[in-house]
């Protein structure tokens, strides 16, 4: 693989604009090569014009300079001269090209000017990021001080009973011994020595903060648990630092309203903080939160180190390419400047990495380096060839089963059978549930494929744990495997003739749909580490958060899943059909009691509204927390959809004209609001003043027609509700099958929506250089509270 492609592949997607523009610099070098080729083979018709244009460009570009005699003696050997300069308090570098009057020198001057711009851009981006890491390391230092103090007080409370600070080192006399009748808890000289030694151990535990306070390079220090002893001034007396108990008197716990309990606590309290509780449960929670903070901080440092290394390598590659094409020797001078710059000489990131790893291994991995490094640096997921093999196998089997079903229907003339109507009304809805699920999974696999192709960082956006996210191959494996099971079940349960003697169908075959559904649910809830357990549990967690809205903090995976469920209303109603058919009806005779049950009718409304109601509550939660009025408008949009859905369902239950009018009006309003929100807010399109007319300023897909086609499809597919309101039928297609087709069209619309929704989210992250998730810290110091 060429370096240019490898360079792009290893970029942090959200920082693409901050990397060196290697492709553009290669283009400038190609211009130099083309100029030399034209000089070797001049074209008479255009040579004069080129010379005049280049002469005018050199005269008016402002790039040429005259230099003093002090450079004259080195002109034969030296090609460039790199100077450091400072403008508006920002350090930069400027390269003077000393051969500007050579033939083609104008092109080389353009190259070095753009090279300086790229280097200054990278350097100015890197330095503030390192300073952010240093400040975050200082915050983690203070967090570790509080955690270590909390550990000692919770795990060894007896050591602190009766503890008093020893006298200063220069005390004139020692404290008198206690009387003989003193109680057991009275501090004695031995106890004082014991307590003093204990506190020295505490200070050794928090020596990373001691080093920061005394090291002249404190700004570059991070969490440290090195083998060095703490500075003497920190160990000479206990008065130099607070005791563990005294330290925790100034610490509170941050409440992050992410669970129902924390949400209620934050509502009852004026601030999202509470007093620290000295118990093991509090210790366990704070350890887990601080552990996650260290893991994310370590990831930030690794990404920043990779950013530095990649750009240094890119500058080295481009300068060597310049030397090769121009025949000069300028790379050494320029790369010496790069090595001496902040980008090339700063070691803060490496030092922070070492200290973070040492701290994490000691305090969160019980000094087990292998365990600690596995947590800090999870192994990348390996692609397995057998997965691709099984995808092909299951896909081929699915196609074969579909053809088999078609042939059986054709040969047996099943549509003409007496029981075909009963089959389509009762059995077909049971299997259509798997049709909706498989189609949605196929659309999700297509989304992942195109997200990866256009470098949308979907694992970061969704918050997947590194190495556990599913690729499109894995999703295709699951969808094709499920389709094989479903299609095989359909074939086994394709009988439409009732036994004339018993007036019933075979029990075993009639239980096939229930068995298949039970199997899928068991796999989904399986606690063993098989069939992508982490992804299954992540899905279940997000689904639980959706059901319990608004008591859980709303994050993107939660409301994204809720949006997916709004397109699966027919699938959710299909689950209700299973309960009705196998619970209330007579499955042996293919008779359900759904139509005659008022309870079923009520739940028929409720289960359809649940996904939209969940999104409505999530919007209200975000409106309360973020104070963003757009979330209020979004809540209104979902409420209008709920009204339209209820009215359409009422129309399907009772065919009355007034229900039809209300359903049409409400559906039109909901469609207009939903379409506008999809195109303008979720996709960020229809911008009249954009660089790309009626699109965004930045697009990932170079073919702009794709966006206009997607907008038109979104509008058309949103009108699928017309089938419910107007009740039109197509000859040769059963009404139940037509309903399933309409449901599939909504799933396809949602799949198209998914890609552009995440594309817009990714571009927003890129615009803000947001490549890391924020991890809340557990402890809040009083001085921090005053600063806030």
- Would you say the C-alpha torsion 158, 164, 166, 172 has a positive or negative sign? negative
CB atoms within 10 A of CB 283: 17
Per-residue pLDDT of 368-404, as tens digits, reads 999 999 999 887 777 778 999 999 999 999 999 999 9
Per-residue pLDDT of 163-213, as tens digits, reads 444 444 444 444 444 443 333 333 333 343 343 343 334 434 444 333 433
pLDDT in the model for residue 86: 66
Beta bridge partners of 84: 93
- Whole-angstrom Cα distance, residue 228 to residue 207? 9
pLDDT in the model for residue 254: 82
Q: Please enumerate in sequence order all residues whose Cβ is within 8 A of that of 66, keeping only pairs 6 or more positions apart, or say none.
A: none
Are 747 and 436 within 8 A, CB to CB? yes
Q: In whole angstroms, how far apart are CA 604 and each of 75, 225, 437, 598, 600?
A: 86, 61, 19, 10, 6
The confidence band for 1, taking pLDDT boundaries of 50, 70 and 90, is: low
pLDDT in the model for residue 780: 86
Which H/E stretch holds residue 93?
A: strand 90-97
Beta bridge partners of 591: 586
Average pLDDT over residues 337-345: 90
pLDDT in the model for residue 637: 96
Beta bridge partners of 120: none
Which H/E stretch holds residue 90?
A: strand 90-97
Among 625, 612, 784, 638, residue whose Cα is nearest residue 258: 625
Collapsing DSSP to helix, strand or coil, 780 comes out as: strand
41, exposed or middle or buried, with CB in 10 Å at 0-12, 13-18, 19+?
A: exposed
In this predicted structure, the answer to whether residue 699 has a pLDDT above a threshold of 90 is: yes
Residue 180 structure tokens: 């003989």
Strand ranges across the sheet with 273-275: 273-275, 251-254, 779-781
Q: Please enumerate in sequence order all residues whose Cβ is within 8 A of that of 289, keeping only pairs 6 or more positions apart, or say none.
A: 775, 776, 777, 778
Among 297, 403, 446, residue whose Cα is nearest residue 758: 446
CB atoms within 10 A of CB 777: 20
CB atoms within 10 A of CB 610: 16
pTM assigned to the model: 0.82
In this predicted structure, the answer to whether residue 484 has a pLDDT above a threshold of 90 is: yes
- Whole-angstrom Cα distance, residue 499 to residue 419? 12
Percent of the chain with pLDDT over 90: 47
CB atoms within 10 A of CB 293: 19
Residues 191, 196, 198, CA angle at the centre, nearest 5°? 95
| Range scoring the smallest mean pLDDT among 131-140, 155-164, 461-470, 623-632 | 155-164
Average pLDDT over residues 616-638: 94
- Whole-angstrom Cα distance, residue 319 to residue 337? 12
The confidence band for 161, taking pLDDT boundaries of 50, 70 and 90, is: low
Q: What share of the chain is helix, strand, coil (3-state, %, to 5)?
A: 70, 5, 30
- Whole-angstrom Cα distance, residue 536 to residue 667? 35
In this predicted structure, the answer to whether residue 224 has a pLDDT above a threshold of 50 is: no
User: Domain segments of the chain: what residues?
Assistant: 3-68+86-129+299-376, 385-663
In this predicted structure, the answer to whether residue 306 has a pLDDT above a threshold of 90 is: yes
Cα dihedral value 505, 507, 510, 513, nearest 10: 180
Q: In whole angstroms, how far apart are CA 225 and each of 135, 329, 357?
A: 18, 46, 9
Q: Is the peptide bond before 217 cis (omega within 30 degrees of 0)?
A: no
609, exposed or middle or buried, with CB in 10 Å at 0-12, 13-18, 19+?
A: middle
Which H/E stretch holds residue 762?
A: helix 735-767
In this predicted structure, the answer to whether residue 218 has a pLDDT above a threshold of 70 is: no
Q: Please enumerate in sequence order all residues whose Cβ is within 8 A of that of 262, keeping only pairs 6 or more positions apart, or say none.
A: 255, 256
**545-567 residues labelled b (16+ CB within 10 A) or e (exposed):** bbeebbbbbbbebbbbbbbbbbb
Which H/E stretch holds residue 94?
A: strand 90-97
202 or 158, which is more confident: 158
Q: Token match 């008591």: residue?
A: 551
The confidence band for 225, taking pLDDT boundaries of 50, 70 and 90, is: very low
Are 248 and 276 within 8 A, CB to CB? yes
1 or 418, which is more confident: 418
**472-496 residues labelled b (16+ CB within 10 A) or e (exposed):** bbbbbbbbbbbbbbbbbbbeebbbb
Compute the residue count for the chain: 788
- Whole-angstrom Cα distance, residue 587 to residue 514? 10
Per-residue pLDDT of 572-585, as tens digits, reads 998 988 988 888 77
In this predicted structure, the answer to whether residue 773 has a pLDDT above a threshold of 90 is: no
Cα dihedral value 359, 362, 366, 370, nearest 10: 70
pLDDT in the model for residue 171: 41
Collapsing DSSP to helix, strand or coil, 689 comes out as: coil
- Whole-angstrom Cα distance, residue 24 to residue 1? 19
In this predicted structure, the answer to whether residue 639 has a pLDDT above a threshold of 80 is: yes
In this predicted structure, the answer to whether residue 66 has a pLDDT above a threshold of 50 is: no
Among 165, 79, 76, residue whose Cα is nearest residue 115: 79
DSSP state of 467: T
Among 338, 304, 325, residue whose Cα is nearest residue 19: 304
- Would you say the C-alpha torsion 662, 665, 666, 671 has a positive or negative sign? positive
Mean pLDDT of the chain: 81
pLDDT in the model for residue 149: 87
Are 766 and 699 within 8 A, CB to CB? no
| Range scoring the smallest mean pLDDT among 14-28, 268-282, 328-342, 697-711 | 268-282
CA 100 vs. chain centroid, Å, equals 49
Collapsing DSSP to helix, strand or coil, 85 comes out as: strand
């Amino acid at each position: 693989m060429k370096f240019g492609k490898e360079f792009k592949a290893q970029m942090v997607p959200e920082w693409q604009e901050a990397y060196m523009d290697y492709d553009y610099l290669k283009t400038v070098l190609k211009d130099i090569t083309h100029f030399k080729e034209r000089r070797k083979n001049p074209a008479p018709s255009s040579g004069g014009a080129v010379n005049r244009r280049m002469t005018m460009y050199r005269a008016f570009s402002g790039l040429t300079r005259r230099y003093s005699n002090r450079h004259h003696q080195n002109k034969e050997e030296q090609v460039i001269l790199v100077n450091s300069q400072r403008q508006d308090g920002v350090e930069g570098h400027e390269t003077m090209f000393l051969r500007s009057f050579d033939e083609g020198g104008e092109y080389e001057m353009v190259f070095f000017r753009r090279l300086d711009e790229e280097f200054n851009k990278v350097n100015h981006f890197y330095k503030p990021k390192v300073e952010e890491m240093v400040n975050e390391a200082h915050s983690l230092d203070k967090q570790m001080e509080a955690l270590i103090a909390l550990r000692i007080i919770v795990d060894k409370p007896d050591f602190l009973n009766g503890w008093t600070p020893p006298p200063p080192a220069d005390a004139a006399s020692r404290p008198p011994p206690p009387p003989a009748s003193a109680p057991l808890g009275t501090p004695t000289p031995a106890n004082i020595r014991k307590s003093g030694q204990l506190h020295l151990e505490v200070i050794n535990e928090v020596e990373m903060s001691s080093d920061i306070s005394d090291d002249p390079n404190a700004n570059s220090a991070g969490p440290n648990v090195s083998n060095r002893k703490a500075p003497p001034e920190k160990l000479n007396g206990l008065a130099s630092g607070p005791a563990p108990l005294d330290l925790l008197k100034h610490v509170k716990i941050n409440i992050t309203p992410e669970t129902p309990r924390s949400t209620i606590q934050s509502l009852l309290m004026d601030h999202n903080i509470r007093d620290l509780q000295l118990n093991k449960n509090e210790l366990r929670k704070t350890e887990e939160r601080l552990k996650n903070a260290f893991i994310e901080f370590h990831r930030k440092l690794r990404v920043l180190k990779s950013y530095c290394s990649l750009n240094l390598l890119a500058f080295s590659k481009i300068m060597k390419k310049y030397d090769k094409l121009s025949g000069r020797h300028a790379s050494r001078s320029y790369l010496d400047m790069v090595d001496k710059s902040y980008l090339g000489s700063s070691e803060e990131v490496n030092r922070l990495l070492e200290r973070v790893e040492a701290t994490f291994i000691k305090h969160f991995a019980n000094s087990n380096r292998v365990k600690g490094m596995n947590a800090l640096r999870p192994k990348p997921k390996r692609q397995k060839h057998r997965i691709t093999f099984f995808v092909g196998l299951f896909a081929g089997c699915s196609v074969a089963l579909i053809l088999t079903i078609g042939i059986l229907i054709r040969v047996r003339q099943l549509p003409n059978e007496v029981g075909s109507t009963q089959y389509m009304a009762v059995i077909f809805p049971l299997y259509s549930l798997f049709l909706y699920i498989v189609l949605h999974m196929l659309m999700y696999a297509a989304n992942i494929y195109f997200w990866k192709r256009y470098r949308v960082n979907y694992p970061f956006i969704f918050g997947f744990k590194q190495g556990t996210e599913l690729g499109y191959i894995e999703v295709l494996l699951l969808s094709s495997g499920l389709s094989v099971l479903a299609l095989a079940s359909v074939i086994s349960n394709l009988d439409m003739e009732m036994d004339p003697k018993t007036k019933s169908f075979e029990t075993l075959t009639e239980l096939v749909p229930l068995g298949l559904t039970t199997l899928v649910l068991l796999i989904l809830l399986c606690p063993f580490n098989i069939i992508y357990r982490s992804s299954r549990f992540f899905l279940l967690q997000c689904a639980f958060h959706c059901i319990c809205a608004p008591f859980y903090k709303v994050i993107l995976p939660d409301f994204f899943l809720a949006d997916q469920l709004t397109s699966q209303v027919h699938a959710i109603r299909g689950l209700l059909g299973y309960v009705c058919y196998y619970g209330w009806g007579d499955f042996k005779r293919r008779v359900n009691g759904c139509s005659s049950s008022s309870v079923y009718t009520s739940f028929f409304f409720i289960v359809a509204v649940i996904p939209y109601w969940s999104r409505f509550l999530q919007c209200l939660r975000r409106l309360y927390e973020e104070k963003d009025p757009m979330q209020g408008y979004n809540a209104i949009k979902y409420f209008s959809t709920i009204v339209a859905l209820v009215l359409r369902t009422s129309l399907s239950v009772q065919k009355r004209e007034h229900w039809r009018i209300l359903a049409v009006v409400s559906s039109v309003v909901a469609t207009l609001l939903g379409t506008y929100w999809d195109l303008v807010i979720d996709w960020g399109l229809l911008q009249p003043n954009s660089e790309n007319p009626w699109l965004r300023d930045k697009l990932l897909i170079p073919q702009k027609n794709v966006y206009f086609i997607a907008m038109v499809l979104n509008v058309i597919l949103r009108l699928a509700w017309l089938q419910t309101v107007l009740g039109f039928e197509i000859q040769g297609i059963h009404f139940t099958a037509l309903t399933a087709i309409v449901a599939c069209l909504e799933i396809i619309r949602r799949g198209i929506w998914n890609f552009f929704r995440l594309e817009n989210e990714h571009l927003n992250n890129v615009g803000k250089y947001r490549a890391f998730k924020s991890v809340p810290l557990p402890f809040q110091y009083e001085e921090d509270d005053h600063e806030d």
